[in-house]
Amino acid sequence: MAEQNLALVKSALSRQRIETPSWAYGNSGTRFKVFAQAGVPRTVHEKLDDAARVHQHTGVAPLVALHIPWDRTEDYAALAEYAGERGLRLGAINANVFQEDEYKLGSVTNPDPAVRRKALDHLMECADIMDATGSRDLKLWFSDGLNYPGQDDLRARQERLAEALWSVYERLGPDQRLVLEYKLFEPAFYATDVPDWGTSYAHCLKLGPKARVCVDTGHHAPGTNIEFIVAFLLGEQKLGAFDFNSRFYADDDLMVGAADPFQLFRILYEVRAGGGLPGTPESAESDPGIAFMLDQCHNIEPKIPAIIRSVMNVQEATAKALLVDREALRDAQQSGDVLGANAVLMDAYNTDVRPLLGEVREELGADRDPMAAYAASGWAEAIVRDRVGGRQAGWGA
């Protein structure tokens, strides 16, 4: 590769920021069992301590997303300061209106106005927290939906949803955004109120420029072409964030890039092509400010190295996406060379980018091999020794 292009690829890689979720540092499980691990954080502060290790070794993970009330604390400005002292920043504030008894029939779409009020109050509290932490994004995922046909009025629920979203949207400051996440099913099994990107997009479009769609890669029907969704949303300036994870069956929340690294590459290629990677010629005009977040649970594997591995998987897919020879691709596409165009993509995908990423990390002052560096650091042993009585990340906590 030409010297100049390589410099560009490296600069884009060193500018990418990957946000890790506070809940991935704590215990989690399926509805059948939570396997508790020794040494997991007991407080949100200890979650930040672990996140700081991930950032130290990788050099690209300074942001940590919070989930309220799982990470509820007395003083959010002080928490932001605590993060800052460790080289971190607090990222998206995730609202949680899915774990209380009142929400059995829905939160913001509940037929009972008192429940809707309670849910909206929580969303407003999250906006207050954003003011204190300096967070840009309010991430909204609603478990609202129906288990049985006829259970409630589908269109009335959309109207209630729109009303709540508008109240939150109006509350946001000029530099704050709302990102609306969709999910096909679960916990509702017949109908979900925000089941797909189209529904999220339609609401965000009505709300205005501060509302964007969040694509959780585990929230689609099997076989869905996620990169198409990404390409479309980016083209419409409506892609706000990713919740990266892998799935084999449903919302499995496995490590991103573990199940289908080729899909992850295709997604990141569309991000690059759509100008979503700062530091590339494609993004020269404007940086759409996409949040590259992880949303995963590490039920059986050690958590910190799993998160490091996930960050590296996103970086590897990004590096391969950056290596795609756009000119050669355009030429092949223009001349109708189907096999040639496909070969350009596959050449990039089949490149071993690990040495390149090792260099990028070294230049960032991080570790060439973050997994080995973490294993040698003694942190895993220290937390087992020092933290007695870890607690669950949130599910059922």
List contacts with ligand LRH (CB under 6 A). Answer: 94, 141, 181, 183, 216, 243, 251, 295
Q: Which does residue 269 touch among Mn ion, ligand LRH, none (CB within 5 to 8 A, set by kind)?
A: none
CB of 7 to ligand LRH, least distance (A): 36
DSSP string for residues in 313-328:
HHHHHHHHHHHS-HHH
Give 297 or 324: the residue with its C-beta nearer to ligand LRH: 297
Binding of residue 243 to Mn ion (CB under 5 A): yes
Give 87 or 190: the residue with its C-beta nearer to ligand LRH: 190
> Which parts of 209-238 interact with Mn ion (CB under 5 A)?
216
Q: Which does residue 227 touch among Mn ion, ligand LRH, none (CB within 5 to 8 A, set by kind)?
A: none
Binding of residue 46 to Mn ion (CB under 5 A): no
Task: Tell me the β-bridge partners of 180.
Answer: 140, 213
ω into 281 cis (within 30 of 0): no
Q: Which does residue 94 touch among ligand LRH, Mn ion, none (CB within 5 to 8 A, set by kind)?
A: ligand LRH
CB of 65 to ligand LRH, least distance (A): 9
CB of 41 to Mn ion, least distance (A): 20
Give 193 or 243: the residue with its C-beta nearer to ligand LRH: 243
Instruction: Calculate the CA dihedral of residues 251, 255, 260, 262 and round it to 10 degrees.
Output: 130
C-alpha distance from residue 231 to each of 80, 150, 270, 290, 343 (Å): 34, 36, 6, 13, 20
Q: Give the contacts of 235 (CB within 8 A, at least 6 positions apart).
A: 274
Give 248 or 352: the residue with its C-beta nearer to ligand LRH: 248
10 Å CB burial of residue 15 (0-12, 13-18, 19+) is: middle
CB of 139 to Mn ion, least distance (A): 8
Give 152 or 295: the residue with its C-beta nearer to Mn ion: 295
C-alpha distance from residue 13 to each of 64, 97, 148, 240, 258 (Å): 19, 36, 47, 19, 20
Indicate the residue whose CB is closest to ligand LRH: 141
Q: Which does residue 316 touch among ligand LRH, Mn ion, none (CB within 5 to 8 A, set by kind)?
A: none
Tokens of 247: 């799935």
In angstroms, rounded to a whole number, what is the distance separating the alpha carbons of residues 204 and 166? 10
Q: How many CA atoms lie within 13 A of 266 on its CB side?
A: 13
CB of 10 to ligand LRH, least distance (A): 32
Indicate the residue whose CB is closest to Mn ion: 243
Give 193 or 295: the residue with its C-beta nearer to Mn ion: 295
Binding of residue 19 to Mn ion (CB under 5 A): no
CB of 253 to Mn ion, least distance (A): 6
What is the bridge-based pairing of β-strands 191-192 and 145-146? antiparallel
Q: Are 245 and 296 in contact (CB under 8 A)?
A: yes
> Which parts of 321-360 interact with Mn ion (CB under 5 A)?
none
Give 50 or 243: the residue with its C-beta nearer to ligand LRH: 243
Number of residues that bind Mn ion (CB under 5 A): 4
CB of 370 to Mn ion, least distance (A): 24
Comparing C-alpha atoms, which of 17, 27, 179, 139 is closest to residue 88?
Answer: 17
Count CB-CB contacts under 10 A for residue 200.
Answer: 25
Give 295 or 367: the residue with its C-beta nearer to Mn ion: 295
Tokens of 12: 């884009």
Give 21 or 288: the residue with its C-beta nearer to ligand LRH: 21
In angstroms, rounded to a whole number, what is the distance separating the alpha carbons of residues 387 and 257? 30
CB of 243 to ligand LRH, least distance (A): 5
CB of 185 to ligand LRH, least distance (A): 10
Q: Give the contacts of 387 (CB within 8 A, at least 6 positions apart).
A: 38, 39, 40, 41, 42, 46
Among 295, 305, 320, 349, binds Mn ion (CB under 5 A): 295
Q: Which does residue 137 touch among Mn ion, ligand LRH, none (CB within 5 to 8 A, set by kind)?
A: none
In angstroms, rounded to a whole number, what is the distance separating the alpha carbons of residues 266 and 249? 20
Residues lying near Mn ion in the complex (CB under 5 A) are found at 216, 243, 251, 295
